[in-house]
Amino acid sequence: MEKASYRTGGATSWPRMEPRPKPLPWSDWLFETVLTFTRPIFQVILAIHVMYPLWVKFASYLISNLGLSERFIFAMVTVGTHHMTLAVVNSFFLCCDQFGWLSKFRLPTPEAAQPSYSLKREAVIGIAASGIPMFFGSYVFYGVYQFFGTTSALAPLPSSFVMWKQIAFAKFFASLAFDLTHRTIHSKALYKRIHSKHHRFIATMSIAAEFAHPIEGGPTILGPLLAGMHPLVWCIFLCWEQTNAGITHSGYCFYIPS
């Protein structure tokens, strides 16, 4: 007899089906993986080339007119990119919830599972406050980024092929590391200490993506660090990753199976 569905909460608001659906055939999985590492990355590279002239003017002004160091600029743009992306993505989905935009894509959620006002406020305050340790962490460890190849803010962009390799590696590393760490922190020994905070959002929303233990952000940071990205490439990659995280936690499903 088929068991009733129930919601897992946390990362998504999908119902957990019993019996579990069969995994994708390897050929379909390979096709989806190839798409992940081609089409979106080329779009990211296009955005990098479009933004580069503005980036050079911006970085030149900060260095020449304000006398800011490369280390300070790297930390500043890291926090700025992170917080501005979250502000835009979260504001958009907040408007969707408030005004009923894109309601046909909204996943059904029981009213009792909706996050409380105090939980949402705690998440927003936490996101804002995270900028402080993020800035100092980026500032202190800037030398490590340089060791692995991060260039000056005013350095020319690498070739599109080099950027593709860097972004593909960072994306693959982040995906693999996230999967491994996520399984690990769901263990009995670590769930309560680390991951339970994230699952306080039962019916998830975009701000829930960042409502987590700081260690859970490691996969997103380590990949670009090891890839030795240009600062602009790092910023666009970070924007892409944070946008994806906001969408997957939003409670909206825009994916239409073929």
pTM of the model: 0.87
Residues 72-77 have a mean pLDDT of 98
Distance between CA atoms of residues 231 and 75, nearest Å: 10
Name the residue among 185, 158, 171, 152 with its Cα closest to residue 222.
171
DSSP, residue by residue, 74-143:
HHHHHHHHHHHHHHHHHHHHHHHHHHTTTGGGBPP--GGGSPPHHHHHHHHHHHHHTHHHHHHHHHHTHH
Residue with tokens 């199976």: 257
Of all residues in the chain, the percent with pLDDT exceeding 90 is 68
Name the residue among 166, 223, 217, 210 with its Cα closest to residue 48.
166
68: left (phi over 0), alpha (psi -120 to 50) or beta: beta
- What pLDDT does 16 receive? 52
Distance between CA atoms of residues 212 and 249, nearest Å: 12
Residues 47-53 have a mean pLDDT of 97
Name the residue among 221, 236, 243, 132 with its Cα closest to residue 170.
221
Q: Are 43 and 149 in contact (CB under 8 A)?
A: no
Each residue of 177-201: pLDDT tens digit?
888 898 899 898 899 999 999 999 9
